[in-house]
Chain A
Amino acid sequence: MKPQTRASMPRTRLLLITGALLLCAGAVVARAAYMQLVTEEFYQSRGNERFLREVTIATTRGMITDRNGEALALSSPVESIVVNPQVLLTDTRNIPKLARVLEMPVDELTRRLAQKHDKQFMYVRRHMNPDDAKAVLDLAIPGVRSEREFRRFYPHREVMAHVVGFTNLDEHGVEGMELAFDQWLTGEPGNQKVILDRDRRIVENVDLIRPARNGKDLTLSIDRRIQYLAYSELKKSIKDNDARAGTAVVIEVKTGEVLAMVNYPSYNPNSRLAISPSLRRNAAVTDVLEPGSTMKPFTVAAALEDGIDPNMLIPTGPGKYYVAGRPISDTHDYGPVDMRRLLVKSSNIAAAKLAAMMTSGHMYDVLDRFGFGERTQSGFPGESAAVLSAPNKWGPVEKATISYGYGLSVTPLQLAQAYAALANGGVMVDTTFVKGGSTGRHKAIDPAISSQVLHMLEAVTETGGTATRAAIKGYRVAGKTGTSRRAVAGGYEKRYISVFAGVVPVDNPRFAMVVVVHEPSNGSYYGGLVSAPVFHNVMDGALRLMDVPPDNIEQWYASTPAAAPALATDSADEQPPDDGVMP
């Protein structure tokens, strides 16, 4: 028994050990199979997380150009220095070195690093010149790298600031067209999968998830040259007249495109300093004013549409007229006037009497068709809604005051748009800031009426009118001056707004322009003396720049060719102009 037992003992042991080993092997294989087959995805994704990253593909913001393709806003490459505070703080000797090359106080950098000591990403300085950034990278400090970013650059600075607007540090529009077309300009950043090494550098692109779509360029309707001319002339006028501010808008009559829109004072959009909100505002679309006498052509147009005879004489003597006990006065006694003389002399009384002959509903309807009382279709951010109360709220006094431009408010852009409609055969084309971007048109008034009013307005710039300074040699100019007082709570201030709105050339109108000068304060404040010269200078240049043929060649021939420098002989200097300032 004993030997048998001896012999069988090792055999049993062997079997036991083999069995145990097989069990172990089986367990290992089973575990391996489980990991490989059942939970493979989980481990694979955990593995990929270590080195695969989804990164965004940056897009470049589109360029903004003027109507001739000149750059108004473009993104230029800059470098931003980024540090990994966790890495940088391991060797504190590097911090003073970094601070020195960045020309930054050491304690400031230390403080900022301390705040983010547990983070892996911190901007130290953004938007550096690429050459300066290279000097930083050349130090090869661990944890310091640079990221390419783009910075918006506005070559025309103050001149274009209000229209183009500007972006913030992250290249998103904050004001103006940059804001209105932010999405169009930004494009869509893409996504790609990449393999990164431990310093987060890209080793290989694995997969493109979504391709980046770069921002598109935007072509504005603005003409850089006219814009510049308008800005410099406006600025000059404001300096000469000691005025507080001013606005000028030029619209291409047939297309509704804004060719120029300037405000003074302006600001430099390249500056990173905080720009005060009052400077940032594009007054041409955000600030409302009472149009004053520049409203009268629309009163006349409404009267003509109502079938009132343009040659009918309206008595205005003795220069004072009472509506419901409230006096309306003219600066002179003009006697009986017809519609032309109403506009040329800018008689408030005649305008009020015309209004009295119409129903409020009709007058409102005409003004409404000319776009008064509502926003334009321009889509400019922050545009103010002008105020024109409903006709059932008009009493006789309101109706009279509206007829000569008080008791309602408009933005300079709306006024320019209304004049453009008058010039465009009574067809109102929606204003736009984008080249060829007008969205619609509608009839404001019969072409016969608009042309009649336009020809009456021509007399305003001829000898004896209120705006002889707006006349341009060789061209027939139609326009209207206006001088209004600033409305403040409870009445009007003794501060003036000089307005001129005009159209040129009358034969085949191309441009409508509105000039507004706020608070001219060294003597003259009449629209004909302050704003009309700006109109003359800008339009004179614009007509030449846009190759508009003169429509009044006879006048050119009539003047002696060899005359001494014909400095516009202004009859306005001799006679006191008056454009119906409200008393």
Chain B
Amino acid sequence: MTPRLFILAALVLAVLLSAVNVAYARHSHRQAYIELSRLQKARDAFNIEFRRLQTEQATVSETNRIVGIATEKLGMHFPLENETMVVQP
């Protein structure tokens, strides 16, 4: 085997390896991209869910409703003046 032939063989091998690598990189890019899209979709879905929950929370914590429940259901009222005590430090 002449050194020339050896170099040629090595180069051919390198080209083959690089080709396989390119294919692999392209494949893993696709995989990663699919994963990214999946996570983005999940994120969007969570955001949407979060917005829905925020809306729900806002509806439930609406002051009118709280006042209604406090006064009617629980019989609460604002402390009258003679029910308040001043504590001096």
A interface vs B, CB < 8 Å? 60, 63, 70-71, 74-77, 148, 150, 153, 155-157, 159, 205, 224-225, 228, 232, 473-474, 541, 550, 553, 556-557, 559, 561-566
B63 lies within 8 A of A77 (CB): no
Q: What separation, in Å, do the CA atoms of A561 and B81 have in the docked complex? A: 9
Check A228/B37 contact, CB under 8 A, given A473-B81, A561-B82: no
Check A566/B81 contact, CB under 8 A, given A156-B62, A225-B63, A550-B86: yes
Closest to B55 in A: A76
Q: Which residues of A contact B58 (CB under 8 A)?
A: 70-71, 74, 153, 155
Digit string of B62-77 for contact with A (CB within 8 Å is 1, else 0)? 1110010000000000
Q: Which residues of B contact A473 (CB under 8 A)?
A: 81
Closest to A562 in B: B82
A205 lies within 8 A of B54 (CB): no
A74 lies within 8 A of B86 (CB): no
B47 at the interface (CB under 8 A from A): yes
Q: What separation, in Å, do the CA atoms of A559 and B59 have in the docked complex? A: 42
What are 25 A-B residue pairs whose CB atoms fall within 8 Å in the complex? A60-B51, A70-B58, A70-B61, A71-B54, A71-B58, A74-B55, A77-B51, A77-B52, A150-B51, A153-B58, A155-B61, A157-B62, A225-B63, A228-B67, A232-B67, A474-B86, A541-B78, A553-B86, A553-B88, A561-B85, A562-B82, A563-B82, A564-B82, A565-B81, A566-B80
Secondary structure type dominating chain A contacts = mixed
Report A60 CB to chain B, min CB distance, Å: 7
B86 lies within 8 A of A77 (CB): no
Q: What separation, in Å, do the CA atoms of A225 and B66 have in the docked complex? A: 11
Q: What separation, in Å, do the CA atoms of A157 and B59 have in the docked complex? A: 10
A63 lies within 8 A of B61 (CB): no
A557 lies within 8 A of B86 (CB): yes
Instruction: Report the interface size class on chain B.
Output: 20 to 34
Q: What separation, in Å, do the CA atoms of A559 and B81 have in the docked complex? A: 10
B57 at the interface (CB under 8 A from A): yes
Report A66 CB to chain B, min CB distance, Å: 11
A60 lies within 8 A of B59 (CB): no
A153 lies within 8 A of B55 (CB): yes
B52 lies within 8 A of A76 (CB): yes
B39 at the interface (CB under 8 A from A): no
Q: Which residues of B contact A77 (CB under 8 A)?
A: 48, 51-52
Q: What separation, in Å, do the CA atoms of A579 and B61 have in the docked complex? A: 41
Q: What separation, in Å, do the CA atoms of A561 and B86 have in the docked complex? A: 10
Q: Quick one: which of B51, B78, B86 contacts A75, CB cutoff 8 A?
A: B51
Report B72 CB to chain A, min CB distance, Å: 15
Q: Which residues of B contact A541 (CB under 8 A)?
A: 78
Digit string of B12-37 for contact with A (CB within 8 Å is 1, else 0)? 00000000000000000000010001
Closest to A159 in B: B63
Closest to A204 in B: B33
Closest to A229 in B: B63
Q: Which residues of A contact B51 (CB under 8 A)?
A: 60, 74-77, 150
Q: Which residues of A contact B61 (CB under 8 A)?
A: 70, 155
B55 lies within 8 A of A566 (CB): no
Q: Which residues of A contact B48 (CB under 8 A)?
A: 77, 148
Closest to B34 in A: A204
Check A155/B55 contact, CB under 8 A, given A70-B61, A556-B86: yes
Q: What separation, in Å, do the CA atoms of A559 and B58 have in the docked complex? A: 42
Report A196 CB to chain B, min CB distance, Å: 15
Q: Which residues of B contact A561 (CB under 8 A)?
A: 82, 85
Closest to A75 in B: B51
Q: What separation, in Å, do the CA atoms of A75 and B50 have in the docked complex? A: 11
Q: What separation, in Å, do the CA atoms of A564 and B81 have in the docked complex? A: 10
A sample of 9 more A-B contacts (CB under 8 A), given A71-B57, A232-B67, is A60-B47, A76-B55, A150-B51, A153-B55, A155-B58, A224-B63, A225-B63, A565-B80, A565-B81
A74 lies within 8 A of B54 (CB): yes
